[in-house]
Amino acid sequence: MEMALENLRCQCKKIVCQIEGDEIWIKCRHCKRMIVIRTRGIESITSRDTSPVTVLQPSVV
């Protein structure tokens, strides 16, 4: 069974990566290749800038 890729967006609404189960998919903006980072489980995703830290919890499919 295939899982759907879930878009993870920055606060500016630009897609940063896509998540499928325990994999993070990143597309190179120059050559368009897909980079896949395989994990043993994504616990949380955080973002940082000059504003307070935002913690995003990936949804469970």
Q: What's the whole-model pTM score? A: 0.65
Greater confidence (8 vs 1) lies with 8
Digit-coded pLDDT (tens) for 14-59:
999 999 999 999 999 899 999 999 999 888 888 777 655 566 666 6
Residue identified by tokens 């973002």 is 47
Residue 26's nearest CA partner among 41, 44, 39 is: 39
**Residue 23, pLDDT score:** 93
**Residue 30, pLDDT score:** 92
Range of the domain at 36: 6-56
Greater confidence (52 vs 8) lies with 8
25 assigned to some structural domain = yes
In this predicted structure, the answer to whether residue 61 has a pLDDT above a threshold of 60 is no
61 assigned to some structural domain = no
Number of domains in the chain: 1
